[in-house]
Every structure is written in structure tokens, then in C-alpha cells.
Amino acid sequence: MTEILDSLPYFDQEYEIPEIKSEVDRLIEKELANSTFAPPEPVENLRFKDDSVLNSEFERMDKGVEMSQLDMARYRLNVPKSKNKKEWIKAIENAYIQLEHQRIRATNLELLKAYGADAWNIYNQQMRELENYINRDLEFVKNNIIDINRQRKIEQIKAGNAIEGLELRTKEALDQLMQVQLAVELAKKQLSNKQ
């Protein structure tokens, strides 16, 4: 059974008694079984359901197979062992590719050195602003929760006092009713004794 919130948690003290709590929970469960209310179903996130790459990776992980290492062979500059012209042309093409790759990396490093610090500082400032916004929002929500709980407590104490007043009036009415019934019975006896 999920945790059930009682209606007047700030006022009802009887709910702490295990026998009463179990009886109340049983009655609530019975009522919920007859209820048509159903919480909304969670939205199913199926964006990756049909992705073959992800599915094959999940299968690999389920089987406990280690991920294959990145093949670094194409990044090596191996000198062909034979004097075959095609192999040498392929090796030279690979050397050009590796040289271009290194040139692009050097250019990227120069760009990072020139502009990276500014971009990083801007990013950090954006993150600080986002953190401040989230903290303000969190503080607002916390204050709302405190206000709501304070209002609930006030309303529940008022309702509890009203209930206590009604219970007292009911007891007084029952006492008066019993006194009237006793008086009626006494009057009946006195009448029957006189006759």
C-alpha cells in the first residue's frame, strides 16, 4: 500500500494509535478500490527504441562482452616492407592524411589559445546565472511550501477545533437525552406505583 496522507495531520492524534491507523488505512484502501480515479500514466520515452546501434550496445553489455578497442592502425605511419608501388602510394597518402590531421589539430589549438579563454569565461558566467536563477526558483518553491504548510496547519486546527466543539455538543446532547430518558422512566415508575 502506498503511503496515505491523513486529512488532518496537524490535529488528529488518534491516527498514531496502531489499531486506529490500520482500521483507517483499511477503510481508505476499500474506498480507493471502488474509486475510478487513476493517476496519469507516465509518458513513455521511446526515442531510442528502434535504434540499432543502441540495441546492439545494450545486447553487448547484457552479455558482459568488453567494448572493442579503437583501431589505431590507420593512424600509424608504417613503412611498407616491399617495393610494391601501390603499397608505397598508399603509405604516402596515409602520411598526407596524418599530416593534414595534425595541421588541423594545431590550428584548433591556436584558435583555442586565442579565443578559448573568453568562450570559457562566457560559459562560466552563463552557468553562474543559471545557478542563481535555479537557486532563486528553489527558494521561491521552498517559501511556497512553508506558506502552504502554515496555512494547512491553521485550517486544520480550525477544523479540528470545530470538530471538537461538535463532539462536545453531541456528548452534551446525548447526556441531556439520557437524563430525559431517565426522567421519563422515573415518571413512568411513579405513575405505575400510584395506580
Q: Tens digits of per-residue pLDDT, 110-163?
A: 999 998 889 889 999 999 999 999 999 999 999 999 999 899 889 888 988 998
pLDDT at 1: 42
pLDDT at 53: 86
**12 assigned to some structural domain:** yes
Interval 41-96: pLDDT, tens: 776 766 777 788 888 888 899 999 998 888 887 778 888 888 899 999 999 999 99
CA 20, CA 138: separation in Å to the nearest integer?
38
pLDDT at 52: 85
Q: Is 167 exposed, middle or buried (0-12, 13-18, 19+ CB in 10 A)?
A: exposed
Instruction: Provide the residue range defining the domain that includes 6.
Output: 1-33
The DSSP code sequence of 110-142 is: HHIIIIIHHHHHHHHHHHHHHHHHHHHHHHHHH
**183 assigned to some structural domain:** no
- pTM, two decimals, is 0.44
pLDDT at 14: 75
**15 assigned to some structural domain:** yes
C-alpha 60, offset from chain centre: 30
The DSSP code sequence of 69-115 is: PP--GGGS-PPPSS--HHHHHHHHHHHHHHHHHHHHHHHHHHHIIII
**14 assigned to some structural domain:** yes
| Percent of all residues in the chain with a pLDDT value above 90, rounded to a whole number | 43
**17 assigned to some structural domain:** yes
pLDDT at 10: 64
How many domains would you assign to the chain?
1
Residue 179 predicted with pLDDT over 60: yes
**4 assigned to some structural domain:** yes
Cα–Cα distances (Å) from 163 to 6, 66, 128, 152, in that order, read: 16, 67, 51, 16
Residue the block writes with cell 477545533: 161
**128 assigned to some structural domain:** no
